[in-house]
Every structure is written in structure tokens, then in C-alpha cells.
Structure 1
Amino acid sequence: MDKPAPSRYLVDENLIEAEHEKMISSDVHAMEIIKFINLSLDFIDKSIIYDNNSSKNHVDLLRLSVRIFNSSAATLRLIRCGYWQASFTLIRDVIETSSLLLLLSEDSESLNEWVSLEEKERKQKYGAVKVRMRLEQLGNKSAKRIRDAYNALSLYAAHPTPEGFHVNTINGITQRGPFVDQIKLNASIEEIAIRLLDAVYIVDTLIESNDHEYMEYRKKYIKYAKKWEDRYPSNG
């Protein structure tokens, strides 16, 4: 048997990804989570495709939905390759974008302002903290839960902190590059699934479509998603 060709890259994740695929394939619960992630990404994708509102403001909201799709898909890829802090950082991006999308979709004046403001002022008025504060003021029930998750992901992943050292450490040794870890694998796929559950409901409220095929598809997906909502009752 021929030996595999040497990688052209110093850091090659193929073997790590293969080990994680074995772990997922041998775990029924992990397989269910991956199925949910895939179906949720497919739902966001199809919803954007079938939406028939082409107004400028609405398209801007859909573009934020695309960002949620892209960040979620990239998160899953980073998880499979064993980049734990990077994957948790992107999960934080999903939370931040979903929160912003929720606020802007409920307040058209905020959307107009967010689009038109200069970058410095936009950061001051629509940064992650300010968005969560405004959602809390509007009585959003999930705002505190989102804040806690965002802060934890900032502490352990997005920001360089001593606490973050633990994410890349095995038996007291900090790892260089990606590495295999079943505990982090299970935790990270569950975390992105929870955040996608929040995101798909937000995206769903935006979509304007009377297409019969899409409406039937949506009905089946929402029924499926409700089962996951029951599994994670804090979401919603």
C-alpha cells in the first residue's frame, strides 16, 4: 500500500479530524446534535433563498442571517479540526450577530440608524453590550442567558486571559496547534447547537414567503426544532 503523500502544510488537521469523526460516529447523542446543526443550517439557507422581500432594509437583515450561517458553518469546521478557542470565539460571533439581528428586526428605526452611523458611533451605540442592554430593556427573556454565555466565551476564548489557558491545555501542558479532545468536542457541538436554536427562530421571524414547498418544509423543520427546544428549555 502506498504511503499517504506528505502534507504541504506545517499544521495539518486531517488525522485530528478523522479521530473526531470516529468519536462522533460512535456516539448516538453526538450524531443527533450534528443532524440538528445540519438541518438548522439548511433551514437558514433555504429561508434566505425563498424570501421574497427585496427592500433595502430587509436585505440588510438577511445579510446578517448569512453571517450567522457562515459563522456557524465555520465553527463546525474548526470543531472537527480541533481548534477549540477559535471555535468558541466564532460561537460568540453567532450570539452577537443573532442578538443584533433580533434588535434590528424589532425596531426599524434602529436598523436605519445602525446602517447610517459612522463606525465609531455605531460601535458606541450598537456594540454587543449595548445591544444586550437594549434587549433587556425591551423585556427580552433570554437577554440574561445570552449575556452569561457571551461573557463566558469572551473569558475563555475570544480574549487572551489566564482562564483561557485551560482550553488549550492537557495534563498541565499547553498544546501548540489543534488537538483531539472528546470532552471539548461534545461541549462545543452542543454549544453551537444551542446558539443555532436561538438563531433560527430569529431568522424565521424575518422570512416573507408564500411558496407552498417552502412553507411545508418550514412546518416540518419547526416541528423538529421544538423537540430540541424541549431538550434545552432555557432557550426561548
Structure 2
Amino acid sequence: MTSTRDIPENLYSLHSAEELLRQKARSMVAADPRLQLHLAVTEAAMDLADSLRKFDTHDEDLKVAMILGMRTFNAFGASIKLSLSGYHQNSALILRDVMETAFLLDLFAGERPLIERWRFADKKARIREFSPVKVREALDARDGFTSKKRAEMYELLSELAGHPNMKSSWMMRPQKDGEAVIGPFVEATALEAVISEIGRLAVQVGEQLDKFFPANWGLETRVGFAKLKRSWLETFYPTTTAEP
């Protein structure tokens, strides 16, 4: 039988299955206040990015922060969509990009002249001064961190989602000791792992974006994020002040 759809029949069926999985994932989120909090603080960080990009400015350095914020907005949206549709590994791969962008925002927020250097750097200079590892090293040196937690988290996302290797197959298994599967699936542990990482990164992104806001701009959005961030920290890190 010839299909009149504008996409192949199998791809249409795959999309239908993804939508069913999304409904299942939404039900799981609805039953878990912690997952709801992760997504709420993520939405608030995305609102910050949207609010900042609306500020009218001729400051090219500030525009860099706006563009990076917009990049995280798109990345969070894509990562959430993929995770709720059952593509946990692909969702995590996008989160590595968010992490790298958050670190760059952190570096720029602490030393604004670096933005201009980054804007005009050629490829060789950008790799030498602003590669992901150089940015992490600069942040650790600035903050006096020696445990290299930034590097550990980046490498974890790289191994699980960024590079084809044996560990990357872990995120393709609905059950820890089961077989890898082809196509999307929704399972509680995988869903919680990815959404909790989305929330953690959203807090970091929101903290950095807030530092670029001009005085008295976007106050309602900034207050909304601050309230959700405080609730998030009280829920997941009630007594610790840890390195990111």
C-alpha cells in the first residue's frame, strides 16, 4: 500500500511511539515533586536567557552573553524534549554542550575583558586560551578548587553520551544489567538521572546569566529564578556548599 504521508511510514510510526513515551514520562514527572522542581528551575533559567536577550544594547561583549544564554535556552529545550521522548543518551549529549557554555559564562562573568579576547580570537588562539579544558583549569585556579570536579563531570558526560565506547552503551539499557535496545525508551532511573542533571546545570546557567543583567532589568524574572534556585538548593543540597 502506498503511503501519502510526507515522511516515510516507519518514521511516522517512530514519532507516534515517541509521543506515547512522552505521555508516560509526563505521568512519571507528575508523580515526583523532585523531578518537577528540576524542570521548574530549568524553565526559570530559560526565562532568564529570554529576558536578557530582550535588553537593547550596543555593547558587543554583553551581546556575547546574550547569545550564549540563547544557546542554553535552545539546548535545554532540546534536551528536555529528547529525554521525555525516551532518548536519554542524546539528551545527555546536549547537556555536555550546556555544561561547556555554563563554564564559559562563568569565566566571562568573573573577568569581563576576556569576552573581547574571545570575540576576536582566531582558531589557534581560541583553542589555546578558551578550549573546554583551558576554561575548566582557569575556573579551578580562580576558585582554588583542586578536586577537578568540573573535569570529572565533563568527562562523565563525554563517556556516557559524547563518545562511542563501551560505557556509552549503559545509557541504551532500560535495565542496568540488561541488553542495549534500539530506539527510545522511558525508564525511571534513566529519566531521573538526565532530568536531575538538567536541573543542576540550569542552576549554574541561571546563576551566571544573572550576573550579566543590567541594573533594574528583568527583576521579576530574576527574583523568580532566585526563589526556585533557593528551593532547589534546600531540597538537593540542604547542608553542603560544594564545588560545582
TM-score tier by shorter-chain length is 0.7 to 0.9
Pairwise CA distance, 1:215 = 1.9
Deviation string for 1:2-39 (max 9, x for gaps)?
A: xxx97753532111112111211222322232222222
Q: Which moved more, 1:33-42 or 1:185-194?
A: 33-42
Q: Which moved more, 1:191-200 or 1:37-46?
A: 37-46
1:42 lines up with 2:47 in the alignment: yes
Pairwise CA distance, 1:141 = 4.9
1:176 lines up with 2:196 in the alignment: no
Q: Which moved more, 1:102-111 or 1:200-209?
A: 102-111
For the residue of structure 1 that corresponds to 2:186, the secondary structure is: coil
**Kept after mapping to 1: 8 A contact 2:45/2:202:** yes
TM-score normalized by the length of structure 1: 0.87
Pairwise CA distance, 1:121 = 3.2
Q: Which moved more, 1:92-101 or 1:38-47?
A: 38-47
Counterpart among 115, 131, 145 of residue 127 in structure 1: 131
Change in CA separation of 1:140 and 1:87 when aligned onto 2, cut-off 3 Å: farther
Q: Which moved more, 1:174-183 or 1:164-173?
A: 164-173
Deviation string for 1:80-102 (max 9, x for gaps)?
A: 11111111111111110010111
**Kept after mapping to 2: 8 A contact 1:33/1:193:** yes
Structure 1 gaps of 5+ residues are none
Structure 2 gaps of 5+ residues are none
Amino acid at match of 2:156: A
Amino acid at match of 1:165: S
Task: Report the number of matched residues.
Answer: 229
**Aligned residue in 2 for 1:116:** 120
**Kept after mapping to 2: 8 A contact 1:142/1:235:** no
Q: Which moved more, 1:131-140 or 1:27-36?
A: 27-36
**Aligned residue in 2 for 1:56:** 60
| Ranges of 4+ aligned residues in structure 1 off by more than 6 Å | none
**Aligned residue in 2 for 1:26:** 31
**Aligned residue in 2 for 1:98:** 102
Percent identity between the two aligned chains: 25
RMSD of aligned C-alpha atoms?
Answer: 2.3
Pairwise CA distance, 1:219 = 2.6
Separation of aligned partners in 2, 1:108 and 1:200: 17
**Kept after mapping to 1: 8 A contact 2:83/2:195:** yes
TM-score normalized by the length of structure 2: 0.84
